[in-house]
Amino acid sequence: MKHKGKVLELFVKWKKNMEKSMKKKIKVLQSDNEGENKSDPLLKLYHDEGIVRHFTVRETLEQNWVAERMNKTLLEKIRCMLSNNRLSKNFWAEVLAYACYLVNRLPSSMIGGKTSLKVWLGKTTQDYDLFGYPAYYHVKEDKLDPRAKKGVFVGFKRGVKGYKIWDPKDKKFILSRDVTFDEASILKPTISW
């Protein structure tokens, strides 16, 4: 979100998505006490939809400790994944997306050792943590050129059935469904833009 003015539009989209996937209506919503969460159009939407609003006191992290703890957990994962894979800070967004992907697929003691996806959607998942590993993606160029190029696995793109690969040579992201992972070796040189 580039502008806080898009909160209403994004909330309506998120609300429709959640209610459709859960087959339930949102009854209560808690958020911080910032202005974008209290705009007139949002308050009208909450009222019209019968959503009860709870706001935390500003600058009081302990009132929203679950979200704040998750933010800290994700930040620690980002730091670790960037460091372990010797990637530059420019990859933080890809790392964050993949860290969220993993968190939703890992068991949590808060929900009886189940995964978030199992509780939320009833889906069982397998955890494959291949972030930062060398990956070879299939290419179709010239008859005599190699059939694969080497890149680095950096996650997935929402809504696309395939892998997101960083090609350090061409300095671009590739989406491919045909990928072979080299799990025996971890990328050694630091990649920079």
pLDDT in tens, 109-134: 878 888 877 777 777 766 566 788 88
43, pLDDT greater than 60 = yes
DSSP state of 42: H
pLDDT value for 167? 92
Domain range summary for the chain, segments of one domain joined by +: 4-59, 64-121
pLDDT value for 191? 52
Cβ atoms 191, 88 nearer than 8 A: yes
Residues in the chain: 193
Cβ atoms 110, 67 nearer than 8 A: no
Residues 6 or more apart whose CB falls under 8 angstroms from that of 165 comprise 135, 137, 151, 152, 153, 154, 173, 174, 175, 176, 179
Is this prediction's pTM over 0.85? no
Cβ atoms 152, 163 nearer than 8 A: no
What's the mean pLDDT when you consider all of the chain?
81
pLDDT single digits (tens) 141-188: 777 778 889 998 888 888 888 889 999 898 999 999 888 887 676 545
